[in-house]
Structure 1
Amino acid sequence: MDVYFLGTGAGMPTTKRNVSSIALRLYEERGTFWMFDCGEGTQHQVLRSSLKLSKCEFIFITHLHGDHLFGLPGLLSSRGHQGGTKPLTVFGPPGLGDYMKIVFEVSHTQVPYPLVIKEVDGGVIWSDDTFSVTALPLDHRVPCLGYRIQEKDRPGRLKFELLKEKGIPPGPVYGQLKQGKDVQLPDGEFLFAASVLGESIPGRSVAILGDTRPCDHAVRLARHVNLLVHEATFMEDRVEHAHEFGHSTAKQAARIADRAGVKKLALTHFSSRYKDEEQMDQLLSEAREVFAETYLAEELEAIAVDAE
């Protein structure tokens, strides 16, 4: 599991940074990736990456500002042309359905796969036996969501030596036990999965927030996550400007990470006013004064979601 950045700029693209889009790559866990926001030009960024749109399972839109949304209709259309046939669900705030309906109707766009647009305003918005996704409203100029992706605890590792001592060779029985299922052996003995499994492995978690001022819901979504992705549109000398336009500074994002007790913080959504490496180093330094495990998101690069 890792977070791959397709666009890390704010407001409008620059020659170095595209507007907002993030891929949560779950290839080992699900064989898919999930996308968060889809600003203009996102499908061009996908073409520059190893991502395949046919592998996109879900898209989560944080809010309906153009730098987070304008790339969505084109990307959904292109997915069909690139072999995407499996269902895809797009989650987002109220108004997303109207937007997509109008764009598709006016442009006569059709997609050759089941497409569901699901408007949400908070709570657990999706769950299965491996992951859950929770959304909460943030503090921006328009309705905006943050998302928490929680991997569920996994069964512990099999005690292979114990199984060998019992004379049980590798095979389907191992798979059943690994899934936590008790099995009956050929001699009639019952083998309980709990007796041959180690302690369960805690699931990893990621919080990916949309544009926001510092707020309690940001802390709630990020509580003890392995990785928090938080906007850092400005440096601290622009803190009043950030508040006026519903954004955060890098230092404010670091304070959220510190309050939430996260393992790692990735900053993104940088103002186009920061054009050189020296300015970005200063932005990072301001955040690290508060939270040491802070990193800058870079275009077409990934940050791992480590278990520890």
Structure 2
Amino acid sequence: MSSRELVILGTSSAVPTRHRNHNGYLLRWDGQGYLFDPGEGTQRQMLHAGVSASDVHWICLTHFHGDHCLGVPGVIQRIARDRVRHPVRAVFPASGADYWRRLRHAAVFADTAVIEEHPVSGELASTGPLTARRLSHPVESYGYRVQEPPGVRMLPERLAAHGIRGPEVGELQRTGSVRGVTLARCSVPKPGQAAAFVMDTRLCDAVFELADGVDLLVIEATFLSGEQALAKEYGHLTAFEAGLVAAQAGVRRLVLTHFSERYTFADEPVFLEEVRRSFDGEVFLARDLMRVPVPRRRR
């Protein structure tokens, strides 16, 4: 299995700070790189993180607030400059197509034909392994889920009981039957791994659906609970609410990010304390250039 990990390029919300760049997250997933919400400065953060333009296969924008998209011009121009050969799929809310075009052609540069545009609309949209769901924010915003197809886990004792060994095991997996023995008799279902990316939103059904059972959830925690009214007004989550989502959805590994500039590293224990009021699983408080592996498969 190829390496699956999250490379965190930026963790601030509307205003970057001395220690936190605007948003930017690269999910490495089986040879594909999903770049979510490249905010201002993402191209430089990629250099610091050892991420090249060739590592990007998808550019996924949740919405068109600046901290989630102002890095697009630099990233695309770098893709062109470095002569990336593979297709790069750009996924973004269809309602923001005018903003996309302005970002896409923000300056004079030698253009590239590898960018494939995939605007999404409606409540549910899918593009290959990527699913988008409409969230609750003052502007149209989408969350994303990357899903591996389900598979099966072979049971050695069942294979041995039926005398299936060597090349016959591969044949059973490919065809579903060997000498009258079906795959179902020698295996059990194995759910595919999944990761979800949820940025600016209030609590809504789509948040829980995107997070349902995922191995890795990257989610905004813009405010602490003392700013609950402000969070609701501006369409954001608190750390407690992010933990609530993780607990109810059965998330394995939780990554909190998109912190308001009003908070510093000294506030991290308070964020963790709030999350622990609702979620007792594994938690990472994101910092720029941190790497978070996707948890190993459940057996």
Give the 3 Å change call, closer, same or farther, for CA 82–288 of structure 1 in structure 2. same
In 2, the alpha carbon distance for the partners of 1:223 and 1:305 equals 16
Distance 1:95 1:162, change over 3 A: closer
**Residue aligning to 1:53:** 53
RMSD: 2.6
- Distance in 2 (CA, whole Å) between partners of 1:54 and 1:289 is 41
Which amino acid counterpart does residue 136 of structure 1 have in structure 2?
R
Task: Find the counterpart in structure 2 of residue 77 from structure 1.
Answer: 77
1:271 and 1:291, CA in 2 relative to 1: closer, same or farther beyond 3 A? same
Would you say the 8 A contact 2:158–2:185 is kept in 1? no
| 1:243 alignment partner, one of 226, 232, 236 | 232
The verdict on how the C-alpha distance between 1:239 and 1:226 changes in structure 2, with shifts beyond 3 A counting, is same
Residue pair 2:218, 2:255 contacting (<8 A) in 1 also:
yes
The gaps in structure 1 that reach 5 residues or longer are 184-188
Match of 1:267, SS state, is: strand
Q: What are structure 2's unaligned runs of at least 5 residues? A: none
Instruction: State the distance in 1 between where 2:24 and 2:106 align.
Output: 25
Structure 2 CA distance for partners of 1:284 and 1:182, relative to 1, 3 Å: closer
Contact 1:97 1:118 in 2 (8 A): no
What's the counterpart of residue 124 of structure 2?
123
Matching residue of 1:186? none
Equivalent residue number for residue 285 of structure 1: 273
Partner of 2:15: 12
- The answer to whether the Cα contact below 8 Å between 2:158 and 2:186 also exists between their aligned partners in 1 is no
- 1:93 is displaced (CA, Å) by 0.6
CA shift for structure 1 position 102:
3.1
TM-score (norm 2): 0.86
Structure 1 residue 192: deviation in Å? Answer: 6.4
SS of the aligned residue for 1:199 comes to strand
Return the alpha-carbon distance in structure 2 between the equivalents of residues 148 and 265 of structure 1: 14
Q: For residue 156 of structure 1, give the secondary structure of its aligned residue in structure 2.
A: strand
* CA displacement at 1:166 relative to structure 2: 6.8
Contact 1:84 1:113 (C-alpha < 8 Å) held by counterparts: no
CA shift at 1:123, angstroms?
Answer: 1.9
Question: Which residue type is aligned with residue 299 of structure 1?
Answer: D
Q: How far did 1:197 drift?
A: 5.7
Provide the identity percentage: 33
Q: Distance in 1 between matches of 2:154 and 2:164?
A: 18
Amino acid at match of 1:268: T
Selected match of 1:3 from 2, 6, 9: 6
Distance 1:79 1:228 in 2: 27
The Cα offsets for residues 79-111 of structure 1, whole Å up to 9 and x where unpaired, read as: 122241111111011244322323444623343
TM-score (norm 1): 0.84
* Other-structure match for 2:97: 97
Who is 2:132 aligned against?
A: 135
1:45 partner amino acid: Q
